[in-house]
Structure 1
């Protein structure tokens, strides 16, 4: 296998269940030019450096449109903050963060703990009388979508509408070449537009009659950077809903799959529930919900590990590869919840570090602890399970789990 075909192999669905041998091959040439002219980076230190390098742009307006695809602005919404660079990124992030976390709203996520427990308990109560469930459809999908909708202030009766929108947008982000690529991209744009219009309308209602939800806060906040325009608010809300939901589905599902593969750790979680904090960190490293970061573009010639990435090149960052780099992690292919200094890159780094990570961590901690505690003798029905098509957001599409009952 040549380094120039690695991206093609990694994104090939045939390798979705176990792409890690490909990442090991990538790390032999940590910066590899691909046949399409892009560059794939797989080393921990190289990726960490690029995440902090202002010469790498996340702004898709600096990217050449792939296969004639549209740019995000044509969908009627401005780019989300993760697709912008400073100073625009910094302004949008500050405004989005004010009602969500420190320093202005330091307890918002912490105070959601009780609600998260109630949602998880209700979902597991629904397993009563069954001897198997699909963890994805019956738990790890409905849990975070319920959480993010309640956080934003979306009416419960509208929650089901997001499944279709989310699937279309995730499908559009799949870079795998296929006959329906253009149609998937158009469907993704339509979904983003429809979702943005829905959330903008809801935000306008919340502006007139605000509550204690995030949409109300974003719609009424007047901070040092001023007030978000309705288009910016809709774009930020779409990002929060999709990014705050899709990645958490994978985190919980990958976590449960790993624990069922290593039942000694599942049993330990039952006996020592406090171990869930480092356990989730190790799950984030070992089976991350995002394998490839959204593509970047080099704004200048950049030398990395002896390879020059030319100005204008598309750059792919292999987060999952970095998380198993033996230069950074001892025995990286071993699942070890007691691992020290577990500074994985699953939530990126630098200015684009995921600001929703505290909520994702808390959701996974509560979900996995309760699943381990309440399911009697859980076991996998199929291993490996069927995976989602998207190679960026890697996780099982279904995870059938059998058990002997549900404990109180």
Structure 2
């Protein structure tokens, strides 16, 4: 019996190149298997739904009995305190406003840009530490430690505590990937213990920042006196956990997918080597071409809605296939071509609407700096394995390892 199209998309065997399957998915703009989720895959329909107030992100609004093929990967996330990404207005809007005050415009318009020198030092230090140019794992040696270190600095985690933070983040992030070969009980216990330790640590750090605030973001959130009031401790814990996990998971994949794509397109890599300013349009095209977040599952309509001539009932499970929409030929010319010179590149790589990626400015800057420095400093970089081994997660798609080599690491 041939597996269903959705089953094939979620099958790890197709993780290296799911895009032909997404093309098939777009042939039916609203794909639905009996008892399964409704999957929307075309650009304009996805964009409209991302801005539709009738679509809920709150899992508690899901009322239909649906087979959820992503239940195993979602299980790890659900054990974390509910964060504002999984809430609807007005709770979502209040918490997002409060979190944004110390992070971006209009109250802190320069927060991210002022981090640029520190980000450059972190990236440079990680590249300096490459001891064997002929054997580099870009994930382990740069793409993972870079954004985790950045989040630690942003939140105000003391540098001596960063290794502990890295360990917890690694364990929690690993729990989001389905792994049929691992013992689920052992894996679940490890993830639960990591969340517990992380929560206890953050709670202690929050109390410390309330009495002795610094210039970090956690201090600002812990001592805020905004028109929305102050965050409760549990709200602050859930927000800090969100910044940690979401703040590094997507960036790891963006950097790794980015270097893989550049090595497959050497003419673009050469342009970046010649002029680091090309990093800006390159990262935008990467967000369209190889988005780190491929699917948005666990949405649900608050009322019956019609999409593409199909009625999606109230309370049903709704998935938005962002990666499929990003390659919709009705929106993008030559969608399977990696083209940083593309005009009007309004991709879905960081979402859209009220739930668009909160940390998008920081993720963009991290990827731009990482890729431009790698292009500048690695002499004759090349892939040692193509395709690389991929993580099992179908939502957060990216290589588990990216083995590359170069002739030397330039100063």
Q: TM-score range by the shorter chain?
A: over 0.9
Aligned: 1:297 with 2:300: yes
Name the CA distance, whole Å, in 2 between partners of 1:177 and 1:89. Answer: 34
In structure 1, how many angstroms separate the alpha carbons of the residues matched to 2:401 and 2:301? 37
Cα contact 2:177–2:391 (8 A) shared by 1: no
Counterpart in the other structure of 1:15: 14
Question: How far is the alpha carbon of 1:333 from its aligned partner?
Answer: 0.1
Partner of 2:108: 105
Map of 1:397 onto structure 2: 400
Which residue does 1:207 correspond to in 2?
210
Contact residue 302 and residue 311 of structure 1 kept, 8 A: yes
1:275 corresponds in structure 2 to 278
Whether contact under 8 Å (1:72, 1:78) holds in the other structure is no
Deviation at 1:199, TM superposition (A): 1.0
Change (3 A) 1:174 1:138: closer
How many residues were matched structurally? 406
User: Relative to structure 1, is the Cα distance of residues 171 and 31 closer, same or farther in structure 2, using a 3 angstrom cutoff?
Assistant: farther
Matched, 1:358 2:361: yes
Residue in 2 that maps onto 1:196: 199
Structure 2 match to 1:40: 39
Deviation at 1:30, TM superposition (A): 1.1
Contact in 2 for aligned 1:169/1:191 (Cα 8 Å): yes
- SS of the equivalent of 2:197 reads helix
Distance in 2, Cα, partners of 1:162 & 1:130: 28
Q: 1:188 to 1:306 in 2, by over 3 A?
A: farther
Gaps of 5+ in 2: none
1:334 alignment partner in structure 2 = 337
Residues 242-263 of structure 1: CA distance to partner in whole angstroms, max 9, x if unpaired? 1010110000000000000111
With over 3 angstroms needed to count, the CA separation of the structure-2 counterparts of 1:183 and 1:48, relative to structure 1, is farther
Partner residue of 2:230?
227
Distance 1:101 1:194 in 2: 29
**Conserved 8 A contact 2:172-2:194:** yes
Unaligned 5+ runs, structure 1: none
- Displacement of 1:158 in angstroms is 2.5
Structure 2 residue 341 is the aligned partner of structure 1 residue 348: no
Partner of 2:60: 61
- Cα distance in 1, alignment partners of residues 47 and 74 from structure 2: 30
Report the CA distance between 1:312 and its aligned residue. Answer: 1.2
Match of 1:127 in 2: 130
Give yes or no for contact 2:76–2:191 (8 Å, CA) kept in 1.
Answer: no
Question: How far apart, in 2, do the equivalents of 1:222 and 1:80 lie?
Answer: 20
- Secondary structure of the corresponding residue to residue 130 of structure 1: coil
Q: Secondary structure at the match of 1:201?
A: helix
Residue pair 1:6, 1:34 contacting (<8 A) in 2 also: no
Question: Quick check: 1:171–1:390 contact (8 Å CA) kept in 2?
Answer: no
CA displacement at 1:186 relative to structure 2: 6.6
- Structure 1 outlier segments of 4+, above 4 Å: 64-75, 174-190
Alignment partner of 2:338: what SS? coil
Give the structure 1 partner of residue 261 of structure 2. 258
Q: How many angstroms apart in 2 are the aligned matches of 1:396 and 1:73?
A: 20
Displacement of 1:400 in angstroms is 0.6
Distance (Å, rounded) in 2 between the aligned partners of 1:299 and 1:177: 34
CA distance in 2, matches of 1:74, 1:200: 19
